[in-house]
Structure 1
């Protein structure tokens, strides 16, 4: 997919592709309401919009929101883009599918997480990588319609079991929908020594599992 990808906006990568592949398996149509959190370039939102679904895309970054809006116009897809903090711009609404590719990289000491500026907003997520993941697990389930689905992609370094447990506690039926092993990208590789110190990877290990967790709100 040809996309505008300006500096400072998270470009589509392996996690984007894995999440998009799961979106394509969902039974979306023109009546479906879809919310894409942490939309970045809008790549996942556009995959959903191709089905005719009514898609809203949200990002905290003003540059990312502008990029998603531009990409939706370039591809002639109707995507409502909102800038804001996760679910704040859509409070009180209901969705059949919520997707999210949030920041999940454990941050260096002294970096509070996804509260900075620029491209770091797209990956820094506190000391354990769960600063944004935990919020989504708490705040997204109440916005799901009956039989609504949450698709959330993350790294295995950010504790997949915690995500599954939090979503189950929120009343969702959960499972790992997709998994892919890949080598570290530049950001993860630059923090490999930190990950080794914290016991997140074995000495010399430079790979991670990308995981899509699927949660369903049953009737």
Structure 2
């Protein structure tokens, strides 16, 4: 079976991009990262991808003012040109319109630094600490028009220590993001994920919403 052609959309350094590229280097991985697209020319992930021979492009959202759909139409042209099968959002800091999301229904995934449906949106680590939760984590989900509301493909939990700060908690969560994002992409690329009644069902797994608990290092 031919490997799925994957594009990764980024706005910054591309930490999860690096994890996806590393995973895709395995001969048995069912997807290949063939294109990296950013809305910022100074995104560190663009240089990282270029150094590894991956095609890149920048579509600067600022050129389009408030016309979000025009910005997305240019992105769509770039993605179609490269015959992309799956889109991964990895720190892509733009809200997407229903027009764009609809074109990638069931083929666009995102990683979020919280255990959804808790702490949607920004500043998740600060909010988790303020709420006094004992477990935090990360989620990979399908992208739908509502922010951080798509069917959950994979989750990982990390314990919250009494002396955690937003920065230390973010570091722990990032470690598990690098585990579950390649896992989720593999599942989607293998065709093992279906969405039934708004929930992701994974072939060969009892429950697609059970969190993968990753113990604290050490």
Q: TM-score range with shorter-chain normalisation?
A: 0.3 to 0.5
Please, what TM-score do these two structures have when normalized by structure 2?
A: 0.41
